[in-house]
Structure 1
Amino acid sequence: MRARPLPIRSTVRLRRPVDSWHKPALSAVVALAIPDAALYALGRLDLILYTSAGAMCALYAHGLPYAARARALPWVVLGMVASLGIALTAASLVASTALLVALASLVAAAHKMVCDATRIGPPGNLILTFIAASAFFVPQRLGQVPLHLGLALGTGALAWLVCMAPALVRPQGPERIATARALEAAAGLLRTESAAAGTAAGGAAPGARAAAQARHGAAAAVNAAWHTLFLVPPARTPEKAAARAGLERLLVRAEAALGGAGAGKEAEDGVGGEPNPFPPLGRAVREAPVAQVDREAEVERLRGWARDLRRGRPLPWVALSAAQAEELRGIEAVEESLEGGAARAARPAGGHVAGRAAAHLAGHAAAAGGGELGGAGDAGLRRPAPGRPRGLRAVLARLAPGSPLLPIGARVAIGCALAGWASMAVGVGHPYWAVVTAASIYQANTTLSWQRALQRTLGNLLGLGLFTALLPLIHTGQLAMIALTLAFQLGAEACITRNYWLGSVWVTPMALLLTEFGSHLPATTLIADRWIDTVVGAGVGLACCIAVTNRRAADRIDVALERVAQAEAAASRLLAAVTAGAGGVDDALEAGWARDRLVGALVELREAAEVASGEWWQRALPEERIAHAEQRGHRVLAGLVRRLSAPALAA
């Protein structure tokens, strides 16, 4: 067991903003502005907290394709309304502030675990907890609760419409962005491995580490892009099927970077002095798609395709080899045989959608004058492998006993309760901000929580200064308050991806304004209370984070290592069969599933190692086992990518 150092310098360092920050920002501004304007016209801005509860749901699910977003956002809205209902009911029935703090802490813990289990993405549990914790301390009568929940539900429906509106203009926007990120990550991997190869003679360890990180990032980006495509429902028109197939071809090209020369050296020589069980791969390395072209040209090509995707240009035509096209034809034949006679009898006039999509693709390629055609097989779309839990079953599996999310939930519940009670002890009458602060700092491990605590404290302090400076403008009237609230929301989304503290500079005055619409505390009291709550919440929350250790973080590594070993063994058997020429179409499909299972296992292992390495008090990690497992896994993955670098079924 050893204590790990807690970083400071990297905590405040600014990063590049996320490419699509403006989408949730503009959606939230529109969803907030419409009800705010209506309440202003009615003279009922005291209800703005309840309309904001539903409107802020527009911040969620922007990474999902529109069909999946349409299903996910109602759950976010229902979760927000249910949390608000619990908070308002408790506020109307419970007089004890200490008990309200305890209830708010339990709700905050539930938000953290459910958001992590569903992997809903940014902004995670923070918005839900902020709204609910605030509502626990809003003066309320039981008879008012239905109206207030109705307002939240109505604005939640408005948020759904706002988030779905871009589908009318760019129906494939999310999957195109995910594919562009995969292409950019693949280009980064090729460039990083080229730089690492140039310094390999001098034994430069930083270059090797950078190449390993780039390989992990590329695998994760490609894996995320495939799973984004898996959320797209089956195409019902040739045009949609052709567009989906075009994105898959681009992902295949991005995936080919994982089987390039950087992994090929390991494939020829073996790992850790062990002989390579697949000698034919030495020749395959020289035949890999990335090795046949100049790396710099391939980097520019991948980046150019990513720019085209982001700008909404027509999908570029990506050529596949004759062998890849032949494999696709076999895949489509298997897919048709799996449909059964009844399905074929019910097929609409004009033939199989995939087959018609192939004709569409063939016409597009002929018009473009480029590429090797894959025939009907070009539409052999990848699908998730059967047998893995999905939907509600997957969420419940992540929350089952033994889950690594349970210690995080315990941290949140205990830390928020103690922070709220400590805030009460120093004289703050409504300590919800301490609860929110404590809930916001809890991340995957102690190191990240420490960084978030520093960022939250710094950002809130600067945000309080900004709020103080703008008090003369705020006091000019409610219209100015509404305009500032929307501006702060836009600024928060623009800055929070660069660093959390920078986003908190805008979030803090926005939160103060939202509470000001319903109550009118003196500015000095409001600012003093928020500063006390911030310091108490961050300090007590961090102390609980260190005290409540997550011993299961290292156990998760053992589970991840076992998963990698199993996925690697299965992939090795299939790769040996394909290399020997003994595999048929069914084996090719299984190899495609094995490839994506191996990618998922490697990504999970790296995430588990990073989480465990950030725990402040933890047993020594099996660094050599992790490195060896990743090396062998990447070597086998490279072989699978080279042998099956065409759209096949996937896990």
Structure 2
Amino acid sequence: MGKHAKPSGKSAYEAPGSMVRARPLPVRSAVRLRRPVDIWHKPALSAVVALAIPDLTLWALGRLDLVLYTSAGAMCALYAHGLPYAARVRTLAWVVLGMVASLGVALTAASLITSTALLVVCASLVAAVHKVVCEATRIGPPGNIILTFIAASAFFVPQHPGEVPLHMALALGAGVLAWLVCMAPALIRPQGPERIVVARALEAAAGLLRTEAGTGGGQPARVPHARHATAAAVNAAWHTLFLIPVRTPARAAARAGLERLLVRAESALGDTGRAIEASAGAEAEPRNTRIAETEPHNTPFARAEPHNTRITETKPRNTPFPRAEPRHTPFPGAEPRDTRFAEAGAEADRLGGWACELRSGRQLPEVALSTAQAEELAGVAAEEPGPRRPAPGHPRGVRAVLARLAPGSPLLPIGARVAAGCVLAGWASMAVGVGHPYWAVVTAASIYQANTTLSWQRALQRTLGNLLGLLLYSALLPLMHLGPLAMIALALACQLGTEAGITRNYWLGSVCVTPMALLLTEFGSPVPATTLIADRWIDTVVGVAVGLACCVLVTNRRAADRIEVALERVAAAEAVAFGLLVTGPATGADDARDIGWARDRLAGCLVELREAVEVAAGEWWQRALPEERIAHAEQRGHRALAGLVRRLSAPALAA
């Protein structure tokens, strides 16, 4: 299912129109290690510093029983490290306020409610709110799990109403400290986050050029994947740059330099777009019929279209933009194939070198652009001259979040899953006599992902990681007996290990999360180690089993509806794009700006469509997906996107 499953035969369903999928759940891909995220050390070090200062202060005061409350604010240091500092200021503030508010609700409930079963219900509802809001705001890692972990724990901490304000104040103070820690790097590298996101786009574009050149212009499965990854990375980079204010000339110049690099990375989509058209034209020839019939099964961007339709839509004479368009760097299309692919490799090396310069903090390289690209970035003919702005017509900020939470949103079934699964997991934990039912609640909340397949993978990872984590905790018991300072050091080391491992795979991070969670329990009220280990393991098994059962029973039937909406948006964006392409090359800044906005809309719609398809494909109970329409929309969309990029970059200037 999802991106890890490979369809076999003509259909992934039991029968035409069948409602139940017959795809196996992945196992090996769930435990396979990946390359670590490039900035994993930033949240890791930020959290260690934000935790160490209040922990050592409480140790000096002899009040380590308050560690839970300061940890609530300090853990906010894990968020928003991919955002520019101007946006991080606001985002982190909202995270801290959300954490303190959740803690306040939990502590108030703990002080007023004596029924454990009712506390489980309250904790589950808060967990569902965390999940839905974090998905709607697209806050990014670590998502809802940190908020839910702290809040669910606080629901079961003995509390008096008069103590709640003090404990919330401690959390707020630690949150302010976390905010300062996360903003401190701005004093040294104020452009660090945006340079990294542009470097990722350059690296993705370089990978696309190397992949296309390495396949000789063919269309194996990895080429469309590389093209989509590049489009997604470039789209994410543009949205990041749009968050940067340009109140001073210096900031405007810095952003303009990054935009020029990003436009150069984006031009790779136009260059590889020629291979799409070339392969499409080849498929129309009888001697390549066998290739055309077999290739789509391995290519998610060119699948399951009727052969006659593909010929009609992909013949060069029917393309909606001229094939005789002027060629441009990085490699002219009129050159021999070997020369063209050699130039592609050289451009890939150039982009990779620029990415390294961005990451190292060196001065931005000079990049030459076409006249249309320069006019679009400069906005010389816009009503309000200035840097590039996002395409109009799409809600942003609070309005975008509210739109994602509107009635009919596909996020609402996910929230229902979390609420039902957490309640039943907590009650099941109580039924077997476990003294920490909130662990079952947190376990159930942590496994719910975008679809059933990803939830299954997370459940498997959580179980494996907790088992190994309990073994690690048992091995660390002698060190814990050395005293409070040793326990603080171990907790900080576990936090560092969590961030180092979780980007490689969730189970690897869970190995360190488990002893850290048990250490937080030890700070508040010491419990025999054997009891803690037994309770943690039982709660893990109960939470995973009940959570998966609810994931299967509470289906997300709206996932397929999201595909229909995404297809409509792609079709509308394609119509605008093709309309601009048939009018001829951009002749001024206004035309360049319109083409740029059309490119932004289309790229965003294609990313949204692919995300919707992957989410729906991982649901076990779903109506048949319109695979032919999806493949057709993605093919046409990427051809139009390549045409828009070429229209802006032709003729391009040499670097």
TM-score relative to the length of structure 1: 0.89
Return closer, same or farther for 1:285/1:137 CA change in 2, 3 Å cut-off: farther
Q: Deviations over 1:280-312 (max 9, x none)?
A: 632337435444771111111111100110110
Equivalent runs, 1:446-461 vs 2, <5 Å:
446-461=452-467
Query: After the TM superposition, which of the residue ranges 273-282 and 7-16 deviates more from structure 2?
Result: 273-282
SS of 1:121's equivalent in the other structure is coil
1:390 aligns to 2:380 (yes or no): no
Q: Please tell me whether the aligned partners of residues 321 and 578 of structure 2 are also in contact (alpha carbons under 8 angstroms).
A: no
Partner residue in 2 for 1:332? 379
Distance 1:386 1:321 in 2: 24
Q: Displacement, 1:548? A: 0.6
Tell me which amino acid in the other structure corresponds to 2:599: R
Q: Please tell me whether the aligned partners of residues 261 and 285 of structure 1 are also in contact (alpha carbons under 8 angstroms).
A: no
Question: Which of residues 526, 532, 552 is equivalent to 1:526?
Answer: 532
Q: Displacement, 1:574? A: 1.4
SS of 1:618's equivalent in the other structure is coil
Question: Which of residues 109, 134, 147 is equivalent to 2:166?
Answer: 147
Q: Displacement, 1:189? A: 0.8
Q: Please tell me whether the aligned partners of residues 268 and 281 of structure 1 are also in contact (alpha carbons under 8 angstroms).
A: no
1:626 aligns to 2:630 (yes or no): yes
Q: Displacement, 1:381? A: 2.3
1:281 aligns to 2:322 (yes or no): yes
Partner residue in 1 for 2:236? 224
SS of 2:584's equivalent in the other structure is helix
Return closer, same or farther for 1:49/1:323 CA change in 2, 3 Å cut-off: closer
1:168 aligns to 2:176 (yes or no): no
Query: After the TM superposition, which of the residue ranges 12-21 and 380-389 deviates more from structure 2?
Result: 380-389
Partner residue in 1 for 2:492? 486
Return closer, same or farther for 1:302/1:475 CA change in 2, 3 Å cut-off: same
Q: Displacement, 1:621? A: 1.4
Tell me which amino acid in the other structure corresponds to 1:217: A
1:272 aligns to 2:310 (yes or no): yes
Distance 2:453 2:536 in 1: 25
Q: Which runs of 5+ in 2 are unaligned?
A: 1-18, 282-308, 334-339, 651-655
Distance 2:235 2:272 in 1: 20
Question: Which of residues 25, 41, 66 is equivalent to 2:44?
Answer: 25
Distance 1:119 1:328 in 2: 29
Q: Please tell me whether the aligned partners of residues 206 and 347 of structure 2 are also in contact (alpha carbons under 8 angstroms).
A: yes
Partner residue in 2 for 1:303? 352
Return closer, same or farther for 1:429/1:261 CA change in 2, 3 Å cut-off: closer
Partner residue in 2 for 1:371? none
SS of 1:578's equivalent in the other structure is coil
Equivalent runs, 1:564-575 vs 2, <5 Å:
564-575=570-581
Partner residue in 2 for 1:355? none
Partner residue in 2 for 1:434? 440
Distance 1:83 1:447 in 2: 29
Distance 1:333 1:444 in 2: 43
Query: After the TM superposition, which of the residue ranges 84-93 and 584-593 deviates more from structure 2?
Result: 584-593
Question: Which of residues 478, 497, 509 is equivalent to 1:472?
Answer: 478
Partner residue in 2 for 1:181? 200
Return closer, same or farther for 1:291/1:32 CA change in 2, 3 Å cut-off: farther
Q: Please tell me whether the aligned partners of residues 36 and 503 of structure 2 are also in contact (alpha carbons under 8 angstroms).
A: yes
Question: Which of residues 546, 559, 562 is equivalent to 2:565?
Answer: 559
Partner residue in 2 for 1:55? 74
Distance 2:562 2:641 in 1: 22
Q: Report how many residues are paired.
A: 593
Query: After the TM superposition, which of the residue ranges 188-197 and 257-266 deviates more from structure 2?
Result: 257-266
Return closer, same or farther for 1:57/1:305 CA change in 2, 3 Å cut-off: same
Q: Please tell me whether the aligned partners of residues 320 and 581 of structure 2 are also in contact (alpha carbons under 8 angstroms).
A: no
1:541 aligns to 2:547 (yes or no): yes
Distance 1:301 1:593 in 2: 27
Q: Displacement, 1:644? A: 1.6
Q: Deviations over 1:620-651 (max 9, x none)?
A: 211111111000000010010011239xxxxx
Equivalent runs, 1:179-258 vs 2, <5 Å:
179-197=198-216, 200=218, 208-237=220-249, 239-258=250-269
Partner residue in 2 for 1:444? 450
Distance 2:533 2:169 in 1: 31
Distance 2:516 2:423 in 1: 24
Tell me which amino acid in the other structure corresponds to 2:450: A
Return closer, same or farther for 1:463/1:628 CA change in 2, 3 Å cut-off: same
Distance 1:458 1:539 in 2: 14
Q: Please tell me whether the aligned partners of residues 59 and 123 of structure 1 are also in contact (alpha carbons under 8 angstroms).
A: yes
Distance 1:323 1:104 in 2: 55
Distance 2:254 2:583 in 1: 33
Q: Please tell me whether the aligned partners of residues 84 and 243 of structure 2 are also in contact (alpha carbons under 8 angstroms).
A: yes
1:643 aligns to 2:647 (yes or no): yes
Tell me which amino acid in the other structure corresponds to 1:590: D
Return closer, same or farther for 1:328/1:133 CA change in 2, 3 Å cut-off: closer
SS of 2:102's equivalent in the other structure is helix
SS of 1:287's equivalent in the other structure is coil
Partner residue in 1 for 2:616? 612
Q: Please tell me whether the aligned partners of residues 578 and 587 of structure 1 are also in contact (alpha carbons under 8 angstroms).
A: no
Q: Which runs of 5+ in 1 are unaligned?
A: 201-206, 340-379, 647-651
1:34 aligns to 2:58 (yes or no): no
Distance 2:523 2:538 in 1: 22
Query: After the TM superposition, which of the residue ranges 271-280 and 160-169 deviates more from structure 2?
Result: 271-280
Q: Deviations over 1:307-337 (max 9, x none)?
A: 1101101101111235544x359x53323x4
Please provide the CA RMSD for this pair. Answer: 1.7
Tell me which amino acid in the other structure corresponds to 1:333: V
Q: Please tell me whether the aligned partners of residues 485 and 513 of structure 1 are also in contact (alpha carbons under 8 angstroms).
A: yes
Q: Deviations over 1:538-559 (max 9, x none)?
A: 1100110011111111111111
Q: Please tell me whether the aligned partners of residues 101 and 420 of structure 1 are also in contact (alpha carbons under 8 angstroms).
A: yes
Q: Please tell me whether the aligned partners of residues 391 and 601 of structure 2 are also in contact (alpha carbons under 8 angstroms).
A: no
Q: Deviations over 1:501-526 (max 9, x none)?
A: 00000000001101110011111011
Q: Deviations over 1:457-504 (max 9, x none)?
A: 000000011001110111111100000000000000000000000000
Distance 1:328 1:100 in 2: 56
SS of 1:272's equivalent in the other structure is helix
Return closer, same or farther for 1:95/1:604 CA change in 2, 3 Å cut-off: same
Q: Please tell me whether the aligned partners of residues 278 and 576 of structure 1 are also in contact (alpha carbons under 8 angstroms).
A: no
Distance 2:373 2:424 in 1: 60
Q: Displacement, 1:45? A: 0.3
